[in-house]
Chain A
Amino acid sequence: GQNIDQPTEMTATEGAIVQINCTYQTSGFNGLFWYQQHAGEAPTFLSYNVLDGLEEKGRFSSFLSRSKGYSYLLLKELQMKDSASYLCAVLDSNYQLIWGAGTKLIIKP
């Protein structure tokens, strides 16, 4: 079966750095997405990786290793508004998005 694993919850301090990991086992791979979802709202796009390596976009970076079936989202200079759930999703061989359960990130002052 297809499976995406990410931690259920993480806590970090304002101004610090946090890394959210995601491992996946899917039938085929056409890219990995990270989305941010605030409570009661729809997900918003953060990043997309299809090749190995690090993609940097401001305070957020996303890394992919296809051979290891592994990705992480790195958030720097954490702000209180970064408190949200972070969803990892993989586009499989049928171009269907397979979603992880999400990681709830709690930022403390």
Chain B
Amino acid sequence: GAVVSQHPSWVICKSGTSVKIECRSLDFQATTMFWYRQFPKQSLMLMATSNEGSKATYEQGVEKDKFLINHASLTLSTLTVTSAHPEDSSFYICSAPGLADIYEQYFGPGTRLTVT
């Protein structure tokens, strides 16, 4: 089946620094990838849709200058949290649509970000 990996799985950074999270599709090509954020005991919140070779589409209320998305190849999308603050601490998950017609989403294992 389709496998999506994320790196790192967890990261601790200081307030004001930037953090890059990678999302890779390991055995299939993904022209589209989705980035989600999930706070404790809450559901997934779509942040942006990453499109290979073009600009990402951000959801309302998500600052595109703060959450930089780069989809440089058909197997890699990166999310950079710039000038991180403690309120950015969250679980960040990427996903890619599967190859079947049902548009199933394959999720990466997630990245736990803690900003101190």
Contacts and interface: CB of A to CB of B under 8 A. Distances in A.
A56 B108 CA distance: 26
Contacts of A30: 103
A104 B112 CA distance: 20
Contacts, number: 44
Nearest to B41: A104
A101 B104 contact: no
A42 B108 contact: yes
A42 B110 CA distance: 6
A44 B107 CA distance: 7
B29 interface: no
B110 A31 contact: no
Interface residues of A, number: 21
Chain B interface bracket (under 10, 10 to 19, 20 to 34, 35 or more):
20 to 34
A106 interface: no
B56 to A, nearest CB: 14
B8 interface: no
Given A40-B112, A41-B110, A42-B93, A48 B44 contact: no
A7 interface: no
A42 B102 contact: no
Nearest to B106: A45
Interface of A: 30-31, 33, 40-45, 48, 50, 87, 91, 95-97, 99-102, 104
Given A87-B43, A102-B43, 19 more contacts: A31-B102, A31-B103, A40-B112, A41-B109, A41-B110, A42-B93, A42-B95, A42-B109, A43-B44, A43-B93, A43-B105, A45-B104, A48-B102, A97-B105, A99-B43, A99-B45, A99-B46, A101-B43, A104-B41
